[in-house]
Structure 1
Amino acid sequence: MGTAERAAQFYERQVRPCLTQQMREFIARQTMVFIATADGNGHCDASFRGGPAGFVQVLDDHTLAYPEYRGNGVMASAGNMTENPHLGLLFVDFSGDRIGLHVNGTAHLRPDDALRTAYPQLPQETAPGRRAEFWVHLSVDEAYIHCSKHIPHLLPAPHGTKLRSQRPKDPDYFTGSAVVPQPPAREPAQPEPVPEPMPFAAPAAEAQLFEPAAEAPDAPGRSQVPLQRTPSWARRPAVVARDGWRGLRGR
């Protein structure tokens, strides 16, 4: 690909074997993290974790920990860690500095009480009304920046914003067992009504030309067919304009 030199410069300038002060402060502000794991055969899985700001605890410049709560019982991420302890974290600040931080390391699962014994500074309540079932304890191998070039700028929704009421329940959302309601189709636009043409009104001087001709008095040998008069405009010679349109001279 021709980028070996650039990659070497990136590793030299950006990749750190531990968390810098700026990295630790950045993690303490984040409310979400994307996690990447793989099982013993290398089959990958990506997931997401969220919580109050700082829910991922910075224990020291080489150690992170985040709580795991009761979930769907699949244990996809945690199950992978028991086979393959390599864990990748990606923190992204979408609403503030629009920057990201990669943290890669070796993960171990720790019971809640055991980790609290080792790190008494852990908060008693990591999320309102919830207690961790266990913790993911990460020994940091490397940490480096994710540039802001393609990170969108997102604004947090107001607190208490609800999901749309017709949204399918989580277990049914992608399984096809529930029909996702669609917005009502728009009715096709109706054409504007065409006004009825106004009845033609002949000019006063010519109105009499469109009235039945008066019958001539009875006379021997004359037909009783009414006389018809030709309108004056019909007797005018037609002219042909340059564009081929036939008009009437004098109109």
Structure 2
Amino acid sequence: MPLGEKLNGTLRAFIERQQMFFVATAAPTGRVNMSPKGADSLRILSDTRVQWLNLSGSGNETAGHLRQSDRMTLMFCAFEGDALILRLYGTASTLHPRDAGWKEASARFPKMAGTRQIFDMQIQSVNMSCGSGVPFMDYKSDRSAVEMIPFFEDLGQDGTDAFWRRKNVETIDGYPTGLFGD
């Protein structure tokens, strides 16, 4: 059910309770990408704007897609309590550590090894559906704190840069991600 072009207090509170969300992007051609995200990485800046901190992973599809098309969808599912699926549709841009505005934006998030980019999304529409097909699931803890972040801490910045050069400079469809300013 379309709700309009912005969040309200109820929807903001719902988002803030979620332990994870999903991001979807697509270039004009090639694969659509959808990825789960977590680790205290989302901030609501206003009823029409969110940012999320992107940590290193085996790919960098979102950044490559945004260089081709600025469309982004975020989806939140209730795994506890009342059933609800919330989607935010909008346009997004990528902010790298080398960019103006990085210092201010990154200060909103905890410092985490493997931090790669921040995505800044302008919400254009908000949609809700029942979510009754989503199973109940119990949250235990974030994997990133025990698996991913220590891995990148041990690599250090030089090792992380080498990892990014091997796995994160192009999408699986060959689009450049702009990670090193290329």
Q: In which range does the TM-score fall when normalised by the shorter chain?
A: 0.5 to 0.7
Q: Partner residue of 2:55?
A: 69
How far residue 139 of structure 1 moved from its aligned partner, in angstroms, is 0.5
Alignment-mate amino acid for residue 93 of structure 2: H
Greater strand content = 2
Q: Partner residue of 1:94?
A: 79
C-alpha contact 2:95 2:102 (8 A) present in aligned 1: no
TM-score w.r.t. the length of structure 2 is 0.68
Q: Secondary structure at the match of 1:133?
A: strand
Q: Partner residue of 1:167?
A: none
Alignment-mate amino acid for residue 47 of structure 1: S
CA distance in 2, matches of 1:141, 1:131: 30
Instruction: In structure 2, list runs of 5 or more residues that go unmatched.
Output: 147-182
Q: Partner residue of 2:64?
A: 79
Alpha-carbon RMSD: 2.8
Alignment-mate amino acid for residue 88 of structure 1: T
Alignment-mate amino acid for residue 49 of structure 1: K
Residues 83, 152 of structure 1: alpha-carbon distance in 2 compared, 3 angstrom cutoff: same
How far residue 42 of structure 1 moved from its aligned partner, in angstroms, is 5.8
Q: Partner residue of 2:42?
A: 56
Q: Secondary structure at the match of 1:145?
A: strand
TM-score w.r.t. the length of structure 1 is 0.50
Q: Secondary structure at the match of 2:23?
A: strand
Aligned 1:2-21 pairs, distance under 5 A: 10=1, 14-21=2-9
Instruction: In structure 1, list runs of 5 or more residues that go unmatched.
Output: 1-9, 163-251
Aligned equivalent of 1:36, options 19, 24, 31? 24
C-alpha contact 1:105 1:142 (8 A) present in aligned 2: yes
Larger Rg: 1
Count of residue correspondences: 144
C-alpha contact 2:28 2:69 (8 A) present in aligned 1: yes
Tell me which of the two structures has the higher relative contact order, counting C-alpha pairs closer than 8 angstroms and 6 or more residues apart.
Answer: 2
Alignment-mate amino acid for residue 137 of structure 2: L
How far residue 159 of structure 1 moved from its aligned partner, in angstroms, is 8.2
How far residue 38 of structure 1 moved from its aligned partner, in angstroms, is 0.7
Alignment-mate amino acid for residue 66 of structure 1: W
